[in-house]
Amino acid sequence: MVYVKRNSLPFGIIQTPKETLEKWYHLMALGRALDERAPNYLKQAIGWSYHAPYAGHDGIQLAIGQIFDSKTDHLFPYYRDMLTAVSAGMTAEEIILNGISKATDPSSGGRHMSNHFAKAELNIHNVSSSTGNHTQQAAGVGRAFNRYKQKGVVISSQGESSVSEGYVYEAINGASNEKLPVIFVFQDNGYGISVPKEDQTANRKVANNFSGFKNLKIFHCNGKDVFDSMNTMLEAKEWVIQNQMPAIVQANCIRMHSHSNSDRHDLYRDKNELEYVQQADPFAKFRRILIRYNRLTEAEIAAIDERVKSEIKDAHRKAMAAPDPTPESIHQFIVPEPYIPQKFPTGEHSLKGEPKKLIEAINSTLKEEFRLNPDTYIWGQDVAHKEKGGIFNVTKGMQQEFGKARVFNGPIAEDYILGTANGMSRFSEKIRIVVEGAEFADYFWPAMEQYVDSSHDYWRSNGKFVPNITIRLASGGYIGGGLYHSQNIEGALATIPGVRIVYPSFADDAAGLLRTTIRSRGMTLFLEPKALYNAPKAATFVPDEFEVPFGKARVRRVGSDLSIITYGNTTHMCLEVAEILQKEHSISAEVIDIRSIIPLDEESILASVKKTSKALVVHEDKLFAGFGGEIAAIIAEKAFEHLDAPVMRVGSEFIPVGFNRILEGAILPNTQKILSAALRLGKF
Amino acid sequence: MKVALVYSHSAKKTSQVAEEIKKVAKWETLDTINVEEFDTKVLSTYDLLVLGAPTWFDGELPNYWDELIPAIEQLNLKKVKVAIFGNGDQVRYPENFGDAVGLLAEVFESAGAKVIGYTTTEGYKFESSKALRESKFCGLILDFENQHKKNEERILKWISSLV
């Protein structure tokens, strides 16, 4: 490589204007003052119980913030990015408000952990503590930049150890493949808490692990040096914008202190090393060269130091006086208000016409909503390749009609599929995304990390961001699919707040719920009983623009002797059972299809139970710890005085679903098992 | 020939090498300069500069050299020869073995100096090094951690090549 003189680069101690150097010194001094002051809040039991000091990362963090332009760019900092946040525009007061978890903390209103700096108004994103998972969200914003021709960059920042996470690989692979304008910054201080980087990966410079990726440029810089960091970040940004491809900037830093205030680095770093990192202090270096090259005088520096002291004092005073969050506020921003159906407010109809299969109802609703809203997108594994549209062809014809920019395949990386949906949502509130989360619902588990993270977003950001995503999954058994093709996941996922879960069992409800889902803000898990896609019993007439509100059950058969509460595949079995009960046992059973698991229509369930005095809860998912336990508990608590019998339940065995049809039959609920339970209940 | 030995007096291993050089070197005048306390302008007054530069972290110059680079780039060192020695660790840092030697060589060359004192890579085992030029090191690299016993012989041979 040809040597380029430092004095001829855009930034250097000789050529950088004095006012810029003053600004940088001020930001660095302010950052250090906050960094050093943070532990005091914990010592005084005020807060900031998690603080990851950034000292030693000063160069690259200043540079990230200075290169970032909040008018055009988006920034995903990590928990050590205090100076990044300050340099990008957050004030000392805002940093302290976050640190001591005040209601006015712009990052999260005291909801998220301290040292997770964010400000939605500046496009500085609130990210998870699952470190490095925001790389996928950054790629998602990059995809939005691509689709909406945004002239800027997305900057994602993380420590070098978190690059070991598989989701980081997925993000960079995706950004490389899709040519997304993202800068992935790796701040390498050599440690993941106490784990030295040689225990993470073979390359000492982890960025070099990605050297075989196409459409990706890797930059290295000294993250301890202000000018090298500034020049590198500037070059990376210009390259990314010009080439519309991603870049990695690996910045070599040092960690001058422990990982956080719960860590003691003297337990694993020797005296020599601790002295060595102190000698390499980036802030002290910057101060020295300002004076050595006569760019600032000692007096000028002292004046800035005094100004910083005053700013910190003022910020502290204001932050301490700020209100704490109230206990009553906990229920705000869990799930945003949904779309309220206008034409079919109860989600029911009695219209007659040509029946449509469940799969056709979903397909046509998707197309109708995509025609209506140009800011809709769908992607997933297998969703769009010539005549094929998904493993079950649910999205057939969509790419042909809406184009590859809106309808496209994702890699076999479920976490990336969902993580980029989260990210793309962050670009604009008007965007509505549908993902086919996995080929089959039981393949969705690798996406759990982004699912859980996305479920938090609305609450965690204090209402400032919510991912607008519909997660479609082909769910359930009765197809002889065995493990990974025939299981249910809603029982496990219903334990996670922040996501709506719906599970229709008829074509019209599928169409109506899907329409409401796509039009709503927030995240909804839309489970499709794949055994019913083409089943005549699930086919119904679907009125034009049919809508079903969330949390509204549908009485599929009226009865007076017992209530059967169900959803999904078992709705049809329960209807068959009700028929048998009536014909052969003169028992009048009412069948309620809850349709929405979250929110749950307690009112309809309780009204039915109060009428019949007996309740049987049926679902395909596992009985033990299944969602039916929640329904049973609600009935027991809120309708106890109306019950003439214990609430009974039918569900699958607490066993994985076997592949052999004999095994599957023995494990899953069926009409006979439900009938037996109903008869036992009827005898009370 | 006017020669200066320039290194950080607080760098322990580098100072050990400097002491060994002083013992074996036969130059008439050999000034010893602490790189942390001097004016770079004096560099152009020497015929030969013997520079000590250990590699920091994953292939960086020490701060005390790094901070001088903007000043060195402004010098005219066309009449000056430089010979650089440094320390590296082939086992823990095989990707950046003795990088500082190569980095410092480039800086001085940018000011017009001629780098002398190239050495063989025989006897070393590493993956990459910025000091590597056409299968030779552009200076002397010592490995205190893994080949300490070879230091004396390597220093003697290197100094002989400079004289």
Domain with A610 in it: what CATH number?
Answer: 3.40.50.920
> What ipTM was reported for this prediction?
0.97
Same structural domain, A450 and A589: no
3-state secondary structure A80-147: CCHHHHHHHCCCHHHHHHHHCCCCCCCCCCCCCCCCCCCEHHHCECCCCCCCCCHHHHHHHHHHHHHH
Q: Is residue A289 part of a domain?
A: yes
B106 contact A CB<8A: yes
Q: Are residues A127 and A237 in the same domain?
A: yes
pTM for this structure?
A: 0.97
Q: In terms of domains, do A279 and A385 share one?
A: no
- Give Cα A631 to chain centroid, integer Å: 28
A8 located within any domain: no
Walk along chain B (163 residues) in steps of 10 and give the mean pLDDT of each run. 96 96 92 96 97 96 97 98 97 96 98 98 97 97 97 97 89
CA torsion, points A633, A634, A640, A644, in degrees to nearest 10?
A: -70
Q: How many CB pairs under 8 A join A and B?
A: 44
CB atoms within 10 A of CB A586: 9
A76 with A182, same domain?
yes
Distance CA(B162)–CA(B157), nearest Å, equals 9
Give the one of A6, A7, A280 whose C-beta lies nearest to B63's C-beta: A280
Is A183 inside a domain boundary? yes
Per-residue exposure over A62-93, b if at least 16 CB sit within 10 Å of its own CB, e if not:
bbbbbbbebeebbbbbbbbbbbbbbbbbbbbb
Q: Do A472 and A439 contact (CB within 8 A), yes or no?
A: no
Predicted confidence at residue A386, as pLDDT, reads 83
The pLDDT of residue A309 is 98
Residue A13 lies in a domain: no
Sign of CA dihedral A437, A443, A446, A448: positive
Same domain, A43 and A165: yes
Last residue of a domain, one of A538, A564, A588: A538
A519 and A628 both lie in a single domain: no
For residue A385, what pLDDT is reported? 83
> Could you tell me if A142 and A85 lie in one domain?
yes
Cα separation, A238 vs B26, in Å, equals 53
SS3 content of chain A, % helix, strand, coil (to 5): 45, 15, 40
CB contact under 8 A, A5 and B73: yes
Task: Give the strand pairing for A596-598 and A500-502.
Answer: antiparallel
Angle at B115 between CA B78 and CA B40, to 5 degrees: 55
Query: Quick one: pLDDT at residue A280?
Result: 96
A501 and A598 share one domain: no
Q: What is the CATH number of domain B2-162?
A: 3.40.50.360
Q: What is the chain A residue with the closest CA to B60?
A: A222
| A533, A572: one domain | no
Using alpha carbons only, what angle is made at residue A372 by residues A524 and A544, rounded to the nearest 5 degrees?
A: 85
First-last CA distance in chain B: 10
Q: According to the model, what pLDDT value does residue B163 have?
A: 78
Which residue, among B34, B30, B43, has the nearest Cα to B9 in the 3D structure? B34
CA nearest A475: which of A540, A413, A394, A412? A394
Backbone CA torsion sign across A271, A273, A279, A282 = negative
Q: Check whether residue A513 and residue A374 sit in a common domain.
A: yes
User: Which of these is catalytic: A116, A485, A572, A619?
Assistant: A485
What separation in angstroms does the CA of A647 have from each of A255, A668, B71?
59, 20, 84
Q: How many domains does chain A have?
A: 3
Residue A546 included in any domain: no
- A-chain residues within 8 Å CB-CB of B14? none
Mutate which of A5, A191, A278, A286 to test chain B, going by most B C-beta atoms within 10 A? A5
Percent of chain B surpassing pLDDT 70: 100
A544 within domain boundaries: no
Of A511, A538, A565, the position where a domain reaches its end is A538
* Single-letter amino acid, residue A545: E
| Amino acid making up residue A437 | G
- Per-residue DSSP letters for A380-407? ETTS-BTTB-STT-TTTTHHHHH-TTTE
**Is the CB of A285 less than 8 angstroms away from the CB of B71?**
no
Residue A505 and residue A648 share a domain: no
Give me the residue from A7, A280, A289 closest to B56, CB to CB. Answer: A280
Type of residue found at A503: Y
At A493, the amino acid letter reads L
Looking up residue A457, the CATH number of its domain turns out to be 3.40.50.970
Q: Is residue A57 annotated as a catalytic residue, yes or no?
A: no
Residue ranges in chain A whose pLDDT is less than 50? none
Tell me the shortest Cα–Cα distance from A29 to chain B, in angstroms: 20
Among A538, A568, A583, which residue terminates a domain?
Answer: A538
Alpha helices in A149-266 (DSSP H): 166-178, 226-243
Residues A44 and A182 in one domain: yes
- A121 Cβ contact partners less than 8 Å away, ≥ 6 residues apart: A106
Q: What pLDDT, on the 0 to 100 scale, is given for residue A36?
A: 97
- Note down the domain range covering A646: 554-682
Edge-to-edge strand list for the sheet holding A554-557: A554-557, A589-593, A562-566, A615-622, A648-652
Burial class (CB in 10 A: 0-12, 13-18, 19+), B13: middle
Residue A343 lies in a domain: no
Task: Name the DSSP letter for residue B126.
Answer: -
pLDDT at A621 (0 to 100): 98
